[in-house]
Every structure is written in structure tokens, then in C-alpha cells.
Amino acid sequence: MASTRLERRTGEDRTATVEALRERLRGMQQAGSLQVEPAPVEPAAVGLAEVVRALRPGAAHSIESRSLALACLGAAMPAGAWGAIVGMPDLGVEAARDLGVPIERIALVPHPGRAWLDVVASLAEAMPVVLAASPGRVTHTDAARIAARLRQASSTLLVAGPWPNAATVVRSLRAEWEGLADGDGRIAGGSLLVEASSGGAPRLARIPIGGGPAGPELAPELAPEPGLALGSALAEHQPAA
């Protein structure tokens, strides 16, 4: 079949060709040939298990909020294992426990100071899961050094906040409430829709708000516990910021 080259035709020929193409397109649309079925929406799993499966060992993962990061820490820790929390001096122990963190098996380093990278790397060599508040700006070189230590130890680093080249980014999409009816009802329950993106199709999870068998109780922020002064031997030997 000879190809049509519009640029070599006269103005009238070009107009006639465009109209012919438009007519053919209308016919195809009427026949339903161009109708595209919407892609099915993958239902969100209930609980944190689907998100935790995205947090593979040997890598660093960025989690949007501290309460969500704490909930992921509790869900990701192997049974009976120890974990660590770094850089959260105002952490509320009871609030963390309510989020599923086995606080009795957590090494707390509230003030890592300028040795943040060394503290996190050392803990990652000894514990399967470490949660750390983002120290702010981290160079790609330092992030690569941490990544190498994580791969060597097969440990998981959860960063509450941004992290360069994070293997997974976990964020909350929206809160969903039940029982509001047309706005004049009472809240009967709620859930938080969470997305874990790691390069492929994102994993979705719906975490109950208020606790229950499917997940911990999530809160927008954790209330600080005044006077909390827990730490580990690592913190005592680090230089001040």
C-alpha cells in the first residue's frame, strides 16, 4: 500500500486527506475499536504485611512519617530479634509500644550527633532492622557507603524522612473514615491508605486507624515523653554535635 505524504500534497489534497482520516477515525470510534477498558485497580491489602514485604533486607528505605516508620519497624523486626532507633530524643516509649514496637528489645540512641553515619552503620552490622530519623542532607557518597554496609550485613535501614536513592519510598496517600454518612454521623472506624514504591508497581496497604488485629494504632504525631533519657553504649562514646 502506498504511504500518504501530506507534506507533498497541495492544500486542497491535504484537506481532503485529513477529512478522510477523520471520517475513518469516527467510524472506528463508533465501532468501539478504540475503546480501552480501564485497568483493574489492585485492591489494597489490610495491614502492614504488604508494605513490609517491599522493605527488602540489605537496603535503605525512606518512610514519610515517624509514626508510620515506627509501625513498619515493629512489623519488620523478626520474632525475638533486637532493633535500634537512632536520632529520636523525644520518642514516647508508650506511643512506640502502641505502634507495635517491642521497646524492650530496642537499643535507643537519641543523640548520635555528627557520628550519625557511623552509629547507624555499626548498629546495622549487629541488628537486622534499624530505624533512624533523617539527619538532613546526606551525600550520595555517604548513602552509598551505608548501602554497602547494609548489603554486607543483610540488614534493613528505615529512615524516617528523605534518603538518597532509597530502595523503597513509603508514604500515606489518604485517610478513609467510616460512619460519617452525609456528614452528620459518628466515626465508626478508619484506615490509612499507604503506598510503597520501589520501581515497579506500587504496593498498597490499608492500615486500620485505632488499632485492631490487622495493624497498630497510627497517629499523625507521637507525643513526646518529658524526661526520657535512654541510650546505648554507642551514644555514650560519640562526639557531641
Q: pLDDT tens, 13-40?
A: 656 665 666 666 566 555 544 444 443 3
Specify the pLDDT at position 233: 39
**Residue 66 is assigned to a structural domain of this protein:** yes
Q: pLDDT for 208-222, tens place per residue?
A: 775 444 455 555 444
**Residue 196 is assigned to a structural domain of this protein:** yes
**Residue 8 is assigned to a structural domain of this protein:** no
Nearest alpha-carbon partner for 79 in 143, 129, 133: 129
Residue, of 9 and 151, whose pLDDT is higher: 151
**Residue 185 is assigned to a structural domain of this protein:** yes
DSSP character for 89?
T
Q: pLDDT for 67-79, tens place per residue?
A: 899 999 999 999 9
8 A C-beta contact, residue 234 and residue 115: no
What is the tally of structural domains in the chain? 1
Residue 224's CATH number: 3.40.50.300
Q: In whole angstroms, give the CA distance from residue 86 to residue 96.
A: 13
8 A C-beta contact, residue 228 and residue 91: yes
Q: Which domain holds residue 219?
A: 45-235
Mean pLDDT, residues 176-204 taken together: 74
8 A C-beta contact, residue 157 and residue 120: yes
Q: pLDDT for 113-162, tens place per residue?
A: 999 999 999 999 999 999 999 998 899 999 999 999 999 999 999 999 99
